[in-house]
Amino acid sequence: MEEVYLTTQPAAGVQLRIEALVREYQTKLARYLRRMVGDSELALDLTQEVFLAAFRTLQRDPDRPLTAGWLYKTATNGAISHLRRRKIIRMLPLDRESDDRSWRIDERSAASVDLQAAIAKLPPEQAAAVLLTSYAGYSSNEAATILGTSPDAVRQRVCRAMKILRSVMTEQS
Amino acid sequence: MTQNCSHAEILAGAIALGEASEAEREEYRQHIATCAACLRAFGGEREIERVMAAVAQAREVETWEPLPRRPGEQSRARTWRAGLSVLAAAVVISFAAHALVAAILRPPVDSNVANVERSTSTFHVTSEKRAPAAVPSPPSPLAHVAKTRPAPRSMVVVHNVVERHGSAVTQTTTQTTEVAQAPVPQITAPASNVPIWRRDEAMPLQQPARPAASPVPVLSGRAESLAVAPLTVVRDVVPIGGDAAINPRPASIAYEENAQGTTAFEVLVDERGLPTKCTITKSSGYLALDVSVCKAAMAAHYSPRTVNGKPTPGIYRDAFTFRPSSDEDSGIPQ
């Protein structure tokens, strides 16, 4: 499947657009996904899948405008479906907060790691709502479009996530 | 009441996102004034903003730069898994192929040789391979002995020369007795020419074995097998995934104490590549750092030390230096 991406397609325009998207959003998406799934290798895999999906979409319909929202939506769907699949084996030590060898020593300031442990406890939809808004910087309206729901639902999810984060944070301190 | 509370959740969410109007804030204040459950669950406006500030702060201190990954490249874990399944498939296929070859070959060989050559010309190699195995038995019994012995002997030499010393002497000597019957004179020449020996202690071991006995008769046959010994290749213990595979994660106390220093360590790795023991050879002075290093070292996987492709126990040595990062000042405002 990956070969499709590798082979040079005649549609050079598509190639250029994808490259521009990758340059612009790769870091942002990877960071967002890493917060979602708690694992950087996996985040990179998922990021790549997003761009692969973007490429396929553009191949099918070269004129389609691909916005950042579209990328985040694809990324969120990928992350959520991954987390749901993994929920089945949650009891194993391969939890979201484990195996985070990429949280380098220098950036593991106490706050960010504790936050990661707290985020790992959130249901995927709530994690997405919080991260899309306060982490990726979208308003609740924009996040609602990305998540395919209403702004009020996003606010509600943020509130419930905040409630969990708060209880985890008070536990820790 | 529940209607109100779910509306309060939306209001609290809006406050959390900094999107609430003054009217909405006022509405929320009035709600928590009468609803203890919501006050307990979400807290007041300040509390909500404090919690959300932690999320925003995580974004501010984020320094992770994803390495640009080439298109089509997968994570190591995944490739590894894929590799395993490919390997498994290859094994299965080769089994199947062998079974097939065997199935095709066997009946014709028994019944009619000429038939084999005609029908399955591609399998000539296989049938030829079988032939020599049958040949050695007919000649004189002496020649037979000479043929069969060198094979295990050449192995023993390798084993003896490079691998063991000290603890395994008894084992080596028992094995050496076998070897010492003939090969001894030959080994001196190649050994001095070839500088590949890793452990010099192993050489003296060879010498006491030498004078034991040296019957001359079969020399020519053994010289070949001995010539293999100097090619001994020693490969040392390596962590699978490179040096980065060992990733110490000190306990939070290390950050609080602003711990820094260098921890040197060594890990005993057995022939299966599993770490058996970790020793701190130089302490950083902080228990938390040292413990994290050994913990990480014991959690890593290694490819064992090998001698001529044969895995043996070995030692892996490395060191980590910890120092507080400059970001940390801005990291912890509390």
Q: In this predicted complex, what is the ipTM?
A: 0.78
Structural domain includes residue B82: no
pLDDT for B232 equals 63
Kindly determine whether residue B65 and residue A110, on different chains, have CB atoms separated by under 8 Å.
no
Return the residue of B nearest to A27 by Cα: B66
Please report whether residue B39 resides in a domain.
Answer: yes
Cβ contact (<8 Å) for A107 and B75? no
Compute the distance between CA of residue A5 and CA of residue B187 in angstroms, rounded to an integer.
57
Under the banding of pLDDT at 50, 70 and 90, the label for residue B7 is very high
With respect to residue B67, please indicate whether it lies within any of the assigned structural domains: no
User: Are B251 and B283 found together in one domain?
Assistant: yes
Residue A128 CA to residue A46 CA, distance in Å, equals: 15
According to the 3-state scheme, what is the secondary structure of B61-86? HCCCCCCCCCCCCCCHHHHHHHHHHH
Kindly list the domain boundaries of chain A, sorted by start residue. Answer: 10-96, 108-173
Tens of pLDDT, residues B28-46: 999 999 998 999 889 889 8
| Contacting residues of B for A130, CB less than 8 Å apart | 55
Least confidently predicted of A99-103, B76-80, B81-85, B180-184: B180-184
Domain count, chain B: 4
In a domain, B264, yes or no: yes
Q: Whole domain around residue B51: which residue ranges?
A: 2-60
Per the prediction, chain B carries an average pLDDT of 62
pLDDT given at position A129: 94
User: In terms of domains, do B323 and B250 share one?
Assistant: yes
Q: Among A30, A47, A109, select the one facing B327 at the smallest CB separation.
A: A109
How many other C-beta atoms can be found within 10 angstroms of the C-beta atom of residue B63?
13
Look at residue A60 in the predicted model and tell me its pLDDT.
Answer: 87
Q: Judge if B9 and B52 occupy the same domain.
A: yes
User: Comparing B257 with A82, which gets the higher pLDDT?
Assistant: A82
Q: Note the pLDDT of residue B28.
A: 93
pLDDT tens, position by position, A17-66: 888 888 888 988 998 998 888 888 888 899 999 999 998 888 888 878 88
Task: Taking residues A132-159, report their average pLDDT.
Answer: 92
Question: How close B130 comes to chain A (CA, Å)?
Answer: 43
pLDDT above 60 (res B276): yes
Residue B110 sits in the same domain as residue B161: no
Closest CA to A169 of B17, B328, B51: B51
DSSP for A83-123, written as a single string:
HHHHHTTTTSS--TTS--TTS-GGG--HHHHHHHHHHTTS-
Sign (positive or negative) of CA dihedral B3, B8, B11, B16: negative
User: Which CATH number is B255's domain given?
Assistant: 3.30.2420.10
Residue B221 has pLDDT above 70, yes or no: no
Q: Does A53 touch chain B (CB under 8 A)?
A: no
Q: Let me know: does B331 contact B61? Beta carbons within 8 Å.
A: yes
Enumerate the residues of chain A whose CB falls inside 8 A of the CB of residue B256.
Answer: 110
**Rounded-to-integer distance, Cα A122 and Cα A157, Å:** 10
Question: Could you tell me if B20 and A159 are in contact, meaning their C-beta atoms sit under 8 angstroms apart?
Answer: no
A41 contacts chain B (CB < 8 A): yes
Contact A62, A11 (CB under 8 A): yes
At B86 the pLDDT is: 57
- Asked if the Cβ–Cβ distance from A31 to B77 is below 8 Å, we say no
**What is the arithmetic mean of pLDDT over A80-99?**
58
Strands B302-303 and B238-239 come out as antiparallel
CA-CA distance, B307 to B305, in Å (whole number)? 7
Question: How many Å lie between the alpha carbon of B14 and the closest alpha carbon of chain A?
Answer: 6
Provide the percentage of residues in chain B whose pLDDT is more than 70. Answer: 46
Given pLDDT bands bounded at 50, 70 and 90, which one contains residue B12?
very high
How far apart (Å, rounded) are the C-alpha atoms in residues B249 and A101?
8
**Residue B41: φ, ψ to 5°:** -75, -45
Residues of chain A positioned with their CB less than 8 A from the CB of B52: 134, 162
The band of A171, judged by pLDDT with boundaries at 50, 70 and 90, is confident
What letter does residue A133 receive in the DSSP assignment?
A: I
Instruction: Spell out the SS3 assignment of B132-170.
Output: HHHCCCCCCHHHHHHHHCHHHHHHHHHHHHHHCCHHHHH
> Is residue B90 one of the residues assigned to a domain?
no
- Comparing B74 with B46, the larger pLDDT belongs to B46
- Note whether A56 contacts B: Cβ–Cβ < 8 A: no
Q: Name the closest residue on chain A to residue B62, using Cα atoms.
A: A107
Q: How many CB pairs under 8 A join A and B?
A: 156
> Pick from B11, B247, B332: which is nearest to A101 by CB?
B247
pLDDT confidence of residue B165: 36
Residue B274 lies in a domain: yes
Task: Tell me if domain A10-96 and domain A108-173 are identical in fold.
Answer: no
Domain boundary among B232, B256, B275: B232
Domain stops at, among B232, B266, B293: B232
pLDDT tens by residue, B82-133: 555 555 666 666 666 666 666 666 544 444 444 444 433 333 322 233 334 3
CA B101, B102, B103: angle at the middle one, nearest 5?
Answer: 90
Tell me: do B48 and B121 sit in the same domain.
no
Look at residue B302 in the predicted model and tell me its pLDDT: 87
Nearest neighbour of B9 by CB, restricted to A2, A135, A159: A159
CB proximity A116 to B under 8 Å: yes
Kindly state whether residue B251 falls inside one of the protein's structural domains.
yes
B74 in any annotated domain: no
Containing H/E element for B234?
strand B234-235
Range with the largest mean pLDDT of B69-83, B188-202, B229-243, B247-261: B247-261
B299 in A contact zone (CB under 8 Å): no
Kindly determine whether residue B65 and residue A27, on different chains, have CB atoms separated by under 8 Å: yes
For residues B182 and B243, membership in a common domain is answered with no
> A10-96 maps to which CATH number?
1.10.1740.10
Residues of A in contact with B13 (CB under 8 A): 140, 154-159, 162
Residue A156 has pLDDT above 90, yes or no: yes
The upper half-sphere exposure of residue B255, i.e. CA atoms within 13 Å in the direction of its Cβ, equals 21
Residues B254-268, mean pLDDT to the nearest whole number: 82
Q: Which CATH number fits domain A108-173: 2.60.200.20, 1.10.10.10, 3.40.50.300, 1.20.1330.10?
A: 1.10.10.10
**Nearest CB to B332 within list A102, A109, A169:** A109
Burial of A128 (0-12, 13-18, 19+ CB in 10 A): buried
In this prediction, residue B101 carries a pLDDT of 64
Residues of A in contact with B76 (CB under 8 A): 41
- Flag whether residue B42 sits within 8 Å of chain A, measured between CB atoms: yes
What is the tens place of the pLDDT at every residue in A108-123?
444 555 677 788 888 9
Question: How many CB atoms sit inside 10 A of residue A10's CB?
Answer: 7
